[in-house]
Amino acid sequence: MNKYESIIIVNPNVDEAGLKALEEKFTGLINENGKVESVENMGKRKLAYDIKKFSEATYMLFNFEANPASIAELERVYRITDDIIKYIVIKK
C-alpha cells in the first residue's frame, strides 16, 4: 500500500453537518481498501480565482494509505459528488 494525500474543495454553502457527512463518506470509502491516517478540516478560505462562480470554499485534507487500484474509484466518487468543487490526490 502507498501513502496518499487528498485535498477536496467543498462548496461554501455546505453546513457543518454536511461537511461531517462528506468526511464520513470518504473515510468509509478509503477504509474499504486502505486506512485513513488523519482528516483535517482546514476551514473556509478565499480562492485564488473563482471556481464554478465561488470565490471562497471549505478545504478538507485526507492523509491515508491505500492500494493504487482504489484511487480511481475514490476520484470517480469525488467527480460525481455535487458538493465537491475540485479535488486532487497525490502520492507521497
pLDDT tens digits, 53-90: 999 999 999 999 999 989 999 999 999 999 999 999 99
User: Across-strand partners of 65?
Assistant: 3, 35
| Percent helix, percent strand, percent coil in the chain, to nearest 5 | 35, 50, 15
Residue range(s) defining the domain that contains residue 6: 2-91
- CATH code of the domain in which 16 resides: 3.30.70.60
pLDDT tens digits, 14-47: 999 999 999 999 999 999 989 999 999 999 999 9
Q: Determine contact, residues 1/66, Cβ cutoff 8 Å.
A: yes
- What grid cell was written down for 79? 467527480
CB-side neighbour CA atoms (13 Å) of 53: 1
Helical ranges in the chain per DSSP H:
16-32, 68-80
**Number of separate domains in the chain:** 1
